[in-house]
Structure 1
Amino acid sequence: MTTQQNHTIPNDVSDFLLNCFARSPSWQLWLSLPLSLLFLLAMGANATLLITIWLEASLHEPMYYLLSLLSILDMVLCLTVIPKVLAIFWFDLRPISFSSCFLQMFIMNCFLAMESCTFMVMAYDCYVAICHPMRYPSIITDQFVAKAVFFILVRNVLVAVPIPFLSARLYYCGRDVIENCMCTNIPVSRLSCDDITIKHLYQFAGGWTLLGSDLILIFLSYTLIMRAVLRLKAEGAVTKALSTCSYHFILILFFSTILLVLIFTHVAKKEVSSDMPVLLNVLHHVMPAALNPIVYGVRTQEIKQGIQRLLKKGWW
């Protein structure tokens, strides 16, 4: 039977149901507590980092502006996904409206890509700091950060907009259960009665182009950093340089690895539990958000001193 492509006909579906762990419902019980704690940690740590950078004049520098952008992205991603997941776990509030679903899809696609792009810019910042320290003040300026933020916003919004738009244009003829805790691209589009080949091709090409280019530039930056570090002769210079960027690289690797694992578990869904990609999806929206401000903030001496000064002034 041929599928009707006339989108003037209204969808039979006005709401979706988020079915988090269909095969392992008991996961919701033990996952809700650590997930809520991670959510509170992520929101609290990122808010602390943002307030400290905002109030401390000594932190009004390009590197800390990039950290602020990363914190904002993390907080938006957490607020977009985790409260709804916890509402499902605690109160079984599984319905999500048609428009809310595609808004969530847009934010997730756009902000995850923006976070990847921000990591790329921060890797470049680290490269200039280690490999061209004398030129750093003239290269990494406020104007550079403004241009980088503009590029991050425009590139990822333009690429992300068609994904929920194409999904919303599909005809949903009755099936309304999304096998996930959030409105991710593939589980939603699979509910449609239309041909989704073009949408999947665009998503595959766009996603791998953005993620792939960011990863290549990130690893190129850290390869050049390692080569420069190994050439350093001064005592303690290698240790200092590595301590500056090693934790940043670990977080970037964690962000990229969990995303790649999520993609491959979707591809190899017959070999792994169908609930595993769902779990990875949830963790990917809260784990980096909880770890980023701790690693970037607590291990940065200037930020620790800024927090201490604010505590002495009675801001907290």
Structure 2
Amino acid sequence: MSDFNSSDFTNPSTFILLGIPGLEAAHVWISIPFCAMYVIAMLGNFAIMFIVKTEPSLHEPMYYFLCMLAITDLVLCTCTVPKMLSIFWFNFREIGFSACLTQMFFLHSFFTMESGIFMAMAFDRYVAICDPLRHSTTLRIPVLAKIALVVVLRGSLVTLPCPLLASKWPYCRTNIIPQTCCEHMAVVNLACADTRINSYYGLIVANLVISLDVIFIAVSYVQILRAIFSLPTKDARLKTFGTCGSHLFAILVFYIPAIFSVITYRAGHKVPLHFHVLFANVCLLAPPMLNPIIFGVRTKQIRNRLFQVFSQRGITVFSLFSSFQKEASGELASDMAPGRLP
């Protein structure tokens, strides 16, 4: 009988996501800020895409890349947060084996795509500042489409071996994952086999991809800063650097927590597990929530268009309310007329 159970468990049909181990009693309270961050991320990124689509003056490469970033952020947080909230609120901890591997693929591939988009945005800023006369001819729509395709293919192809390898291992230890999502190494660590190939591949790819992207971004901004400091006046330097401010801030928000999370996960063995899981979830949700705020506040065109939309909505609501008041006053006056008295 035990052999039968062991052979069944070698290919589990479901995994169990614990949520945040050690903080199960506080899951409901922890879910409140996470749910708020998710709602803000959804509303903010949809607002960015709506504004760029409806405003012809924003049909430029930088804003197309911003829409790509918004789509990536939406997928990145949507593939994990609904399941996380179902664990916190309803204790729905089970996730199918195939669904777990699918979540793993989307989580890591779109994280890689977001890094690629930041690199593409750095290239856009480099061309716009260092070679402005060729910006409109260099970054045309076909070129933007090819860049987007390369970003998507790179993120998908470098991530695809992770779930494929994970699907081949036998799982005979346990099917309990001490996480809120199917992170690659959290799943592979459950396998009762030599999974060093997964560990080495994930580590090499993560370091290689992020390192190359960070190096490319750094080189781009070295050239950008050289071009900025060569401008004749201080006002011109500040104005030109202001066009890069939101991009730089978003880069810091994305890379610094991610690098810190990887370091603590690999080297911080004395750090409690619940801190690892909690911080990893914050790192996952913070960029999608903050990116629309960063670009919305610091980008004048988006900020003006956003104020315009809200002012129009406010005028419409005020007009409807005023017309409703006038109609109500008219009906009241007619009811109080002498001929209408009971």
Shift of 1:262: 1.0
Identify which range, 23-32 or 143-152, moves more after superposition: 23-32
Residue number in structure 2 paired with 1:5: none
**CA separation in 1, counterparts of 2:65 and 2:269?**
40
CA-CA distance at 1:283 after TM superposition: 1.2
User: Which residue of structure 1 aligns with residue 280 of structure 2?
Assistant: 281
Cα contact 1:106–1:163 (8 A) shared by 2 = yes
**Richer in helix (by share):** 2
Measure how far apart 1:92 and its partner are.
1.2
Q: Does 1:182 align with 2:181?
A: yes
Residue correspondence of structure 1 range 294-309 to structure 2 within 5 A: 294-309=293-308
Determine helix, strand or coil for the equivalent of 2:80. Answer: helix
* 2:340 alignment counterpart: none
Q: CA deviation at 1:196?
A: 0.2
Give the Cα separation in 2 of the matches to 1:129 and 1:275: 44
Alignment correspondent of 2:231: 232
- The amino acid across from 2:111 in the alignment is L
| Counterpart amino acid of residue 233 in structure 1 | P
Aligned AA for 2:177?
I
SS of corresponding position for 2:20:
coil
Aligned twin of 2:104? 105
Matching residue of 1:265: 264
Q: Write the deviation string for residues 122-162 of structure 1: whole angstroms up to 9, x where unpaired.
A: 01111122222222212222122111101101111111111
Counterpart-to-counterpart distance in 1, 2:85 and 2:282: 13
The separation in 2 between residues aligned to 1:274 and 1:310, in whole angstroms, is 45
Output the amino acid matched with 1:299: R
* 1:168 maps onto 2:167 in alignment: yes
Q: Are 2:17 and 1:18 equivalent residues in the alignment?
A: yes
The structure with higher relative contact order (CA 8 Å, sep 6+) is 1
Give runs of aligned pairs for residues 118-133 of structure 1, distance below 5 A: 118-133=117-132
- Tell me, which stretches of 5 or more residues in structure 1 are unaligned? 1-7
CA contact (8 A) 1:61 1:142 kept: no
Give the Cα separation in 2 of the matches to 1:27 and 1:257. 27
The amino acid across from 1:172 in the alignment is Y
The code of the aligned residue for 2:52 comes to I
Residues 196, 32 of structure 1: alpha-carbon distance in 2 compared, 3 angstrom cutoff: same
What is the CA–CA distance in structure 2 between the aligned matches of 1:131 and 1:31, rounded to whole Å?
46
Alignment of 1:149-168 (within 5 A): 149-168=148-167
Q: Which has the larger radius of gyration?
A: 2
Bigger shift: 70-79 or 222-231?
222-231
> Equivalents in 2 of 1:79, 1:22: separation in Å?
22
Supply the RMSD in Å over aligned alpha carbons.
2.0
Q: Using a 3 Å threshold, how does the CA distance of structure 1 residues 112 and 239 change in structure 2: closer, same or farther?
A: same
- Distance in 2, matches of 1:285 and 1:267, equals 18
Check the 8 A contact 2:249/2:294 in 1, yes or no. no
Contact 1:117 / 1:152 at 8 angstroms: preserved in 2?
Answer: yes
Aligned equivalents of 1:141 and 1:294: distance in 2?
27
Which deviates more from structure 2 when the two are superposed, residues 223-232 or residues 187-196? Answer: 223-232
In 2: Cα distance, 1:184 partner to 1:162 partner: 14
| Pairwise CA distance, 1:297 | 2.7
Query: Contact between 1:127 and 1:224, CA under 8 Å: does it hold in 2?
Result: yes
For the residue of structure 2 that corresponds to 1:63, the secondary structure is: helix
Shift of 1:24: 3.1
1:77-88 equivalences in 2 (<5 Å): 77-88=76-87
Q: Single out whichever of 35-44 and 195-204 deviates more from structure 2.
A: 195-204
Stretch deviating more after TM superposition (267-276 or 88-97): 267-276
Tell whether 2:143 aligns with 1:147: no
SS at match of 2:182: coil
Cα distance in structure 2, aligned partners of 1:235 and 1:213: 33
Distance 1:308 1:250, change over 3 A: closer
Equivalent pairs, count: 309
Equivalent pair of 2:246/2:299 in contact (CA under 8 Å):
no
What SS does structure 2 have at the residue aligned with 1:16? strand
Contact 1:120-1:214 within 8 A present in 2 as well: yes
How far apart, in 2, do the equivalents of 1:27 and 1:112 lie?
28
Which residue is equivalent to 2:137?
Answer: 138
Deviations 1:205-246 (A, max 9, x none): 222111111111011111221222222212401211222112
The whole-number CA distance in structure 2 between the counterparts of 1:27 and 1:296 is: 33
Q: Does 1:220 align with 2:186?
A: no
Show the 5 A alignment for 1:194-213: 194-213=193-212
Structure 2 residues not aligned, in runs of 5+: 1-6, 318-342
TM-score by length of 1: 0.92
- Paired residue secondary structure (2:27): helix
Query: Which AA in structure 2 matches 1:104?
Result: Q
